[in-house]
Amino acid sequence: MRFTGQLLSITLDSAILIHYIGRYAALYFFTGIALTGIAFQGFIYGLKTVLLISAALSFLGVYTSLLTRQTMA
Protein backbone atom coordinates (compact mmCIF):
# COMPACT_ATOMS: atom_id res chain seq x y z
CA MET A 1 0.00 0.00 0.00
CA ARG A 2 2.86 2.38 0.74
CA PHE A 3 4.43 1.70 -2.63
CA THR A 4 1.15 2.50 -4.35
CA GLY A 5 0.91 5.79 -2.49
CA GLN A 6 4.47 6.70 -3.41
CA LEU A 7 3.85 5.83 -7.04
CA LEU A 8 0.66 7.89 -7.20
CA SER A 9 2.38 10.81 -5.48
CA ILE A 10 5.25 10.88 -7.95
CA THR A 11 2.84 10.55 -10.86
CA LEU A 12 0.64 13.39 -9.63
CA ASP A 13 3.64 15.62 -8.94
CA SER A 14 5.12 14.98 -12.36
CA ALA A 15 1.81 15.67 -14.11
CA ILE A 16 1.37 18.98 -12.30
CA LEU A 17 4.93 20.11 -13.02
CA ILE A 18 4.64 19.17 -16.69
CA HIS A 19 1.38 21.12 -16.86
CA TYR A 20 3.08 24.26 -15.57
CA ILE A 21 6.39 24.13 -17.46
CA GLY A 22 5.55 22.12 -20.57
CA ARG A 23 6.58 18.67 -21.71
CA TYR A 24 9.78 19.52 -23.57
CA ALA A 25 10.95 22.04 -21.00
CA ALA A 26 10.44 19.39 -18.31
CA LEU A 27 12.43 16.88 -20.36
CA TYR A 28 15.33 19.27 -20.78
CA PHE A 29 15.06 20.58 -17.23
CA PHE A 30 15.26 17.17 -15.57
CA THR A 31 17.96 15.75 -17.84
CA GLY A 32 20.34 18.59 -17.11
CA ILE A 33 20.42 20.15 -20.57
CA ALA A 34 20.72 23.90 -20.20
CA LEU A 35 17.97 25.99 -21.76
CA THR A 36 18.11 29.73 -22.03
CA GLY A 37 14.36 30.36 -22.14
CA ILE A 38 13.15 27.86 -19.57
CA ALA A 39 10.20 29.04 -17.54
CA PHE A 40 11.50 28.92 -14.00
CA GLN A 41 8.48 30.90 -12.82
CA GLY A 42 6.22 28.12 -14.07
CA PHE A 43 8.37 25.59 -12.24
CA ILE A 44 8.01 27.56 -8.98
CA TYR A 45 4.22 27.82 -9.43
CA GLY A 46 4.02 24.10 -10.13
CA LEU A 47 6.19 23.30 -7.12
CA LYS A 48 3.98 25.42 -4.84
CA THR A 49 0.90 23.66 -6.19
CA VAL A 50 2.46 20.24 -5.64
CA LEU A 51 3.40 21.11 -2.05
CA LEU A 52 -0.09 22.43 -1.27
CA ILE A 53 -1.78 19.33 -2.69
CA SER A 54 0.65 17.02 -0.86
CA ALA A 55 0.06 18.86 2.42
CA ALA A 56 -3.71 18.63 1.99
CA LEU A 57 -3.53 14.90 1.24
CA SER A 58 -1.25 14.37 4.24
CA PHE A 59 -3.66 16.12 6.59
CA LEU A 60 -6.52 14.11 5.12
CA GLY A 61 -4.56 10.90 5.73
CA VAL A 62 -3.81 11.86 9.33
CA TYR A 63 -7.47 12.70 9.94
CA THR A 64 -8.74 9.41 8.51
CA SER A 65 -6.09 7.49 10.45
CA LEU A 66 -7.25 9.11 13.68
CA LEU A 67 -10.87 8.31 12.85
CA THR A 68 -10.03 4.64 12.31
CA ARG A 69 -8.27 4.41 15.64
CA GLN A 70 -11.25 5.94 17.43
CA THR A 71 -13.70 3.48 15.87
CA MET A 72 -11.50 0.50 16.72
CA ALA A 73 -11.09 1.47 20.37
pLDDT per position as a tens digit, 5-38? 889 888 998 899 888 888 777 777 777 776 656 6
The model's pLDDT over 35-54, given as tens digits with 9 standing for 90+, comes to 656 667 888 888 899 999 99
Q: What angle do CA 19, 20, 21 make, to 5 degrees?
A: 100
Q: Are 50 and 11 in contact (CB under 8 A)?
A: no
Task: Give the torsion through C-alpha atoms of 58, 3, 67, 16, to 10 deg.
Answer: 30
**71 or 66, higher pLDDT:** 66
Distance (Å, rounded) from C-alpha 64 to C-alpha 51?
A: 20
Task: pLDDT band for 59, please (50, 70, 90 cuts).
Answer: very high
